[in-house]
Structure 1
Amino acid sequence: MTLKIYGIAASRTSRPLWVAQELGLDYQHIAQVYEGGGTRTPEFLALNPNGHIPVITDDGIVVWESMACTIYLAERFQGPNGLSLAAQSHAERADILRWSFWAVTECEKDALTFLMHRIAMPEERRKPELAQQADRRLALVLQVLEQHLQNRDYVAGERFTVADICVASVLAWVQRADAMAACPRVAAWLERCLTRPAQLQVRVMARNRGKT
């Protein structure tokens, strides 16, 4: 076995793990934690000098940054019977790239703020006004995806691809946001993504390995 995925499932490592589960890959999951300096050891910094998870290694190739790991796995591997999450045309590749980067640049910061200050942090540490501000900003951003999904079921092409994994992994953090409630197409698409068996398996892994 040469493919290794480092990082706990209850983190951005869930993204490459989701691809691996969708494709039924043979891989070793190394549940590398980041608390307590776990990613600042010389051994881990030799893999990722930034000291962050996830990291994947594949027969001598090292990839870090969660979206890069996710897209790499989708392009590198296929599942049973040629199942592919990667682009099959230039048009699909354009959609995969632009929407994956959109999720990072337009959504992730506010989605994480909402998650932390509405759900994840202990209540005494939350700042509700920060969650509300993030929710308001996301209301405009999510309308872009709402319009994109007007006549389609998935983000790229006519099938489930790595683009759906990249975008859904971010928007999963804001399922309870008012911004999501105002976007029924996005909400329905997100529900389809998050109820896929591979994603449910990653959630079980997250519960078993601790939380971010």
Structure 2
Amino acid sequence: MLHIWGRISSINVKKVVWTAQELGLNFQRTDAGGLFGIVKTPEYVRLNPNSTVPVIEDDDFVLWESNVIVRYLCAKHSAGQMYPTDLRARFDAERWMDWQQTTLNPASRPGFWQLIRTPAEQRNAAVIAESNAAVESLMATLDRHLAQRTYMAGEHFSMADIPLACEVHRWFGLPQPRQSRPNLERWYAGIRARQASKGVLDLALS
């Protein structure tokens, strides 16, 4: 059985749990990271020397890095569907998954930490404003992209939608105004209606 290590409040663990649910996999999840600890123990460090979540154990195969885990599970269980086999389609999906990790997440993280993880009296308004301005520009990019297609990589739901939707879920949940993005909102509404996203995209931010 697939074993997932990580607390469900983690955006990166959400990606993996949602993928497993989308694929209909039987899995066990063990809370780790944050208040649950575990990640600094020698046993866990042997699984992931970075002491981060998530980690999966798929029989005797251990894998870390959330988007890589999403790719692996989709390639193993949904080749040609969630994991595109056409080379151009696959790397279109890969591009957006990397963009989530290298561009969108670093821009959104400071604002998230200030608004959700920092007491109100200690928040830095300048950090929040800078983060929000960066994310608004990136959300405009997503909105333009989704004006031309139903899902991130075309007309079919794929592995690319999962990391982006987890990031957008966090952005939409922040206690602040944001600009309307009709194409992005249409896509996100469809994503949230997917049964496999339940227990992932319906949780409050923490």
TM-score, scaled to structure 1: 0.86
Structure 2 partner of 1:91: 88
The range that moved more, 98-107 or 66-75, is 66-75
Structure 1 partner of 2:29: 29
Q: One-letter code of the match for 1:160?
A: F
Structure 1 partner of 2:40: 40
Q: One-letter code of the match for 2:76?
A: R
Please tell me whether the aligned partners of residues 33 and 52 of structure 2 are also in contact (alpha carbons under 8 angstroms): no
Q: Show CA shifts across 1:137-168 (max 9, x none).
A: 12222222222112211001211111000111
Where do residues 116-195 of structure 1 align in structure 2 (5 Å cutoff)?
A: 116-175=113-172, 176=174, 181-195=179-193
Identity across aligned pairs (percent)?
A: 30
Q: One-letter code of the match for 1:8?
A: R
Q: One-letter code of the match for 1:46?
A: R
TM-score, scaled to structure 2: 0.88
Q: 1:197 aligns with which of 195, 198, 201?
A: 195
CA distance in 1: counterparts of 2:113 and 2:77, whole angstroms: 34
Q: Show CA shifts across 1:157-204 (max 9, x none).
A: 2111110001111122211565x5242211221222233221122356
Structure having the larger proportion of residues in helix:
1
Q: One-letter code of the match for 1:200?
A: K
Runs of 4+ in 1 over 6 A off after TM superposition: none
Q: One-letter code of the match for 2:32?
A: Q
**CA displacement at 1:119 relative to structure 2:** 3.4
Q: One-letter code of the match for 2:181?
A: C
Cα 1:195–1:91 change in 2 (3 A) is same
Q: Secondary structure at the match of 1:167?
A: helix
CA distance in 2: counterparts of 1:167 and 1:142, whole angstroms: 11
Q: One-letter code of the match for 1:73?
A: L
The range that moved more, 39-48 or 184-193, is 184-193
**CA displacement at 1:19 relative to structure 2:** 0.4
Q: 1:114 aligns with which of 111, 115, 130?
A: 111
Q: Secondary structure at the match of 1:162?
A: coil
Structure 1 partner of 2:3: 4
Please tell me whether the aligned partners of residues 169 and 201 of structure 2 are also in contact (alpha carbons under 8 angstroms): no
Count of aligned positions = 203
Q: One-letter code of the match for 1:10?
A: S
Please tell me whether the aligned partners of residues 118 and 128 of structure 1 are also in contact (alpha carbons under 8 angstroms): no
The range that moved more, 83-92 or 8-17, is 83-92
**CA displacement at 1:84 relative to structure 2:** 3.7
Please tell me whether the aligned partners of residues 100 and 163 of structure 1 are also in contact (alpha carbons under 8 angstroms): yes
Q: Secondary structure at the match of 1:94?
A: helix
CA distance in 1: counterparts of 2:185 and 2:16, whole angstroms: 22
Please tell me whether the aligned partners of residues 111 and 171 of structure 1 are also in contact (alpha carbons under 8 angstroms): no
Q: Secondary structure at the match of 2:199?
A: helix
For the aligned residue pairs, the C-alpha RMSD in angstroms reads: 2.3
Structure 2 partner of 1:50: 50
